Amino acid sequence: MKGVMFACTKNSCRSQMAEGFARQLGEGKIDVTSAGLEASRVHPTAIKVMSEIGIDISDQTSKPLSKFEPENYDAVISLCGCGVNLPEEWVVREVFQDWQLDDPDGQSLETFRRVRDEIKERVEELVRTLSTKRANLTG
């Protein structure tokens, strides 16, 4: 199973939503974690907008990237343009993408919903891509 790390600055909003989507959409296909350059908290509005669509991320916690080993992950996704600040060993994984999504923190509920929906589309594509790569490697 492919290991996926969603990285963000504070592991509060975007990376937490991505982890929630990936757990649901990639169940049985990918192993997913999220972390930040620094840990903070899971943003209450991120929890709210995810619960609106039936995904509960209230048990997720904010974690620092320094607690993880890059070699345990096949794909690293930066959600905030922070890829330039990631240690090199994280950027040279099999798959590295820098999605550069707007930071909804401090923004309106509509902004949180828009960013959530953008994340869902990208996670769906990522799960498809990684599932295809795995099938090609094993088939």
Classify 100 in phi/psi space as left (phi over 0), alpha (psi -120 to 50) or beta: left
H-helix segments, 11-108: 14-25, 44-51, 88-91
Task: Output the tens digit of pLDDT for each of the chain's 139 residues.
Answer: 889 999 999 999 999 999 999 999 999 999 999 999 999 999 999 999 999 999 999 999 999 999 999 999 999 999 988 777 899 999 999 999 999 999 999 999 999 999 999 999 999 999 999 987 655 554 4
Residues annotated as catalytic are 8, 80
H-helix segments, the chain: 14-25, 44-51, 88-91, 109-138
Q: Is the entire prediction scored with pTM above 0.95? A: no
Residues 18, 12: Cα–Cα separation, whole Å? 11
Classify 54 in phi/psi space as left (phi over 0), alpha (psi -120 to 50) or beta: left
Residues 11, 38: Cα–Cα separation, whole Å? 7
Classify 55 in phi/psi space as left (phi over 0), alpha (psi -120 to 50) or beta: beta
Residues 26, 30: Cα–Cα separation, whole Å? 5
CATH fold of the domain at 2-138:
Rossmann fold (3.40.50)
**How many Å separate Cα 54 from the centre of its chain?**
18
Residue spans of the domains in the chain: they are: 2-138
